[in-house]
Chains A and B, each alone.
Chain A
Amino acid sequence: MGQTYTIILLPMGNSVRCAQDQTVLGAILGSGARVYYGCTGGSCGVCKMRLVSGQLDYGRYSVAVLSEEERRQGFFLSCQAKSVSDLTIQLTEANRYRQVPTFSIQPPRPR
């Protein structure tokens, strides 16, 4: 097992696990949630999120959708960025975070 990191998602305050070499988007999708994302190539910009604390490897992305100024303000493209520490991320309505229904195991009925 490689290094894993914890990503805290604000404003909900829940956390997801992020494996080494997993993108932030990959970690969120892997947790069973959905967010708004597009090309997964770092070029459409719709998966942009804001870092509150922690260290990122920003990855390769189009300078047309993430400016130096935005990067200074903490923005990153979640489809490219990878954790290099535990992170705290501020999501906004633009990220459209929601849980997706999945299988659920019901407790056995009392006889």
Chain B
Amino acid sequence: MPYRISRLGHVEIRSLDLDRDLDHYTNVLGLQLTGREGKTAYLKGWDERHAYSVCLTEADRAGMVRMAFRTVDAEDLDYYEKRLHDLGVTFEVIPEDYRRGRALRFVAPSGHTVELYHEMDYTGNLLPSVNPAPWPQRLQGIAVPRLDHTLVTAPDPATAIQFFQEVLEFRTSEVLVGQDGTPLAAWLWQRPAPHDLAIVPGRAGGFHHAAFVVDSTDALFRAADILAMHKVRIDYGPGRHGITRGTTIYFFDPSGNRLETFGGYSAYQMDPDTRPVTWTQDQITQAVFYYAQELNETFLSVYT
């Protein structure tokens, strides 16, 4: 099966106060502000090469507006348009959006608005494309290089997982199963990384977190220092997940959306023939928090 989706391209997250939250996203998380139009600000990590990976939109509540996946080629968008049509998935074609070309928009069984697109303005990263340094100086805060993945909630996770596996051809890296073997949660990938999208049980349309890469354990602890210096509410970490082996810190933006710095690339890479790892529900505490070996009060119950 060819790879037709390259990655999670962007997420749109709601903010209760855009000016306040932009300070967090640019000075603490350290994203680059690349545009602002109306009630939406557009941001990206310093090593991302397209115009944005995060849209932050002021609203009367928090949570996720949409997640958008970028196809590998323009033809792959046509492929999915035909596939959605053939499989009877209701979708609309969005001719264009801010600095982005045509997109397919539909609602997944999890209740989330999902988009597929290919074209977005190619801006390059913050380094020259000829003889670049390894990283740019004068970055702010944690200075995450890029968006990694998102985790969302679904009232019927098995159906939602199946939708992403069958319709959008996500592969599965890891799965948490209930006593009868039914998937309760799954980690799904398109890039050769542990996950681009994960689905866990919860409310329809719920947003558990969006994760950004930190590429070393040193960077993870530096991120924890910066979060604590800014008195950011940390939910968990620095720590490690059993699932994906990822090293992690979870924290909340000022509007209460959970974000993560994820050291996933130190974990493992996927091959086309890598078979899923299974976690059983009786081991959920170490599957989730490998070191603590117990859940905290908030991680599975608090989300926007």
Contacts and interface: CB of A to CB of B under 8 A. Distances in A.
Given A44-B304, A62-B62, 19 more contacts: A38-B256, A39-B233, A39-B256, A39-B257, A39-B304, A40-B233, A41-B233, A41-B252, A42-B62, A42-B255, A42-B256, A43-B16, A43-B62, A43-B256, A43-B304, A61-B16, A62-B60, A62-B63, A63-B61
Nearest to B21: A41
Tier of interface size on chain B: 20 to 34
Instruction: Describe B's contact surface by its main secondary structure.
Output: loop
B255 A43 contact: yes
A52 interface: no
Contacts of B257: 39, 41, 43
- CB-based closest 7 A-B pairs: A41-B256, A39-B256, A43-B256, A38-B302, A43-B62, A62-B61, A64-B61
Instruction: Describe A's contact surface by its main secondary structure.
Output: loop
Interface string A17-41: 0000000000000000000111111
A72 to B, nearest CB: 18
B179 interface: no
23 contacts: A38-B298, A39-B62, A39-B233, A39-B252, A39-B256, A39-B258, A39-B304, A40-B252, A40-B256, A41-B16, A41-B233, A41-B255, A41-B256, A43-B61, A43-B256, A44-B303, A44-B304, A46-B301, A62-B63, A63-B60, A63-B61, A64-B63, A96-B297
B65 to A, nearest CB: 13
A76 to B, nearest CB: 15
A60 interface: yes
B253 interface: yes
Interface in A35-79: 36-44, 46, 60-65
A94 B192 CA distance: 42
B302 A41 contact: no
A32 B63 CA distance: 31
Given A62-B60, A62-B304, A63-B61, A46 B298 contact: yes
Interface in B162-185: none
Given A39-B302, A39-B304, A62 B256 contact: yes
Contacts of A61: 16
Interface in A93-111: 96
Contact of B297 (A36, A60, A63): A36
Interface of B: 16-17, 60-63, 233, 252-258, 297-298, 301-304
Contacts of A44: 256, 302-304
A88 to B, nearest CB: 26
A62 B199 CA distance: 23
B156 to A, nearest CB: 21
A36, A44, A65: which has the most chain B beta carbons within 10 Å? Answer: A44
A97 B17 CA distance: 30
B293 to A, nearest CB: 20
A34 to B, nearest CB: 9
Contacts of A36: 297
Contacts of A42: 16, 62, 255-256
A91 to B, nearest CB: 16
A38, A39, A44, A63: which has the most chain B beta carbons within 10 Å? Answer: A39
Given A46-B298, A62-B304, A41 B253 contact: yes
Contacts of B63: 43, 62, 64
Contacts of B298: 37-38, 46
B200 to A, nearest CB: 15
